[in-house]
Structure 1
């Protein structure tokens, strides 16, 4: 069953045609990855879905409803959580305060506490640093906090933009293990990732984007074995 579908989506940054008729589908329970070089349109695709950037034309359907150009706070309330590139945590707030920001729409304190405990299941280190300011944490810890804050929304669709960027290999392994665990528990994930090998290893399906256009798609296994993909993105 399709949870998210993009149909002929065009997005512009001023006079720059960033997305040129993107067609993309994410089915419920999948990990779908979007790979491509820097500037290809990966982050723009996620921003267009979440409403941070407006689509010029085309449609974005979520649960069968048209959410094209819906404001970001409404998109998040509908069940889409977006973890942006560069983490974007609140550096002057504590870990606890950052996590609470992820549940901004929840009034029930018991529900907030239950969601926080679920985050600690995946990221026990955050529980150890509950009163530490986000900006004083390591890059890996900040990435955990950014994902944890998104999980506080209790999303149906989790969109991750470059979760491994700038992290040590051992932390990258931990992050990808948690992505797999979340998916095993039923969460649908749209993953943008520079590390194409890691992404395709865990993805059910993938899309290759070049200069704003989808040029190839297939299962993760198919794309891993594709000669063009191997030469361009797998080194």
Structure 2
């Protein structure tokens, strides 16, 4: 479904990604793990068109999307849930969800997907008329995921969905991610909670200082002594 080949992305003169390459197959959950500053978020931002790689290529469903604008990438079927949620705090929960469907004009489908968001996250149905800024952190994360799903993505990019959330909320979020994947949506997950990420992912990549250091199935990475020591806190 997706192939990133040897991309180099810069922040000004800072060389953030140094030849990252990875592949994602349809209906997989693939995770990116690594320390802060490893290049995980930059990889997602490069994929979604926020940052444009200076070198390398990104191919999605056979099309080179390396130089496409973000809105055209969304239209192709890639949607991102950003780190920190970044909902619209003054808009209601429902209005936030509708923002996720701004490229669509199929009113019946939009209505059905709104109801699906409420099924996935019942608390959003209760809060649908509340401003997004009044929600708890966990509820805002649910809203951010629901908003992304309103675009009907083929590939969902998730950036640190567990960040700052209580363990019970994290479990709920990860159960929903698995449910979304089982319904056919491919997922690329950036997550500092490596243990949780590897539990639900099919495969993973380990990033360090802007390049891929390791890759493999989740089982292989979980058993890898380097990963266990550095990211799982295990001997």
Tell me what 2:215 maps to: 217
**Contact 1:79–1:154 (8 Å) recurs in 2:** yes
Which sections of structure 1, spanning at least 5 residues, go unmatched? none
**Contact 1:5–1:26 (8 Å) recurs in 2:** yes
Task: Give, in angstroms, the shift of residue 194 of structure 1.
Answer: 0.4
Runs (4+) of structure 1 exceeding 4 A deviation are none
Superposed CA RMSD in Å reads: 0.6
Which sections of structure 2, spanning at least 5 residues, go unmatched? none
**Contact 1:48–1:69 (8 Å) recurs in 2:** no
Q: TM-score with structure 1 length normalisation?
A: 0.98
In the TM superposition, what are the counterparts of 1:19-30 in structure 2 within 5 Å? 19-30=17-28
Tell me what 2:122 maps to: 124
Tell me what 2:12 maps to: 14
Task: Give, in angstroms, the shift of residue 184 of structure 1.
Answer: 1.2
Whole-Å separation in 1 of the counterparts to 2:106 and 2:200: 35
**Contact 1:120–1:126 (8 Å) recurs in 2:** yes
Tell me what 1:77 maps to: 75
Paired residue secondary structure (2:54): strand
Tell me what 1:54 maps to: 52
**Contact 1:89–1:134 (8 Å) recurs in 2:** yes
**Contact 1:164–1:172 (8 Å) recurs in 2:** yes
Whole-Å separation in 1 of the counterparts to 2:84 and 2:212: 24
Tell me what 1:228 maps to: 226
Paired residue secondary structure (2:172): helix
What do the CA deviations read for 1:102-147 (whole angstroms, capped 9, x no partner)?
A: 0001223222111101111211111110000000100000000000
In the TM superposition, what are the counterparts of 1:86-235 in structure 2 within 5 Å? 86-235=84-233
Whole-Å separation in 2 of the counterparts to 1:201 and 1:132: 34
Tell me what 1:38 maps to: 36
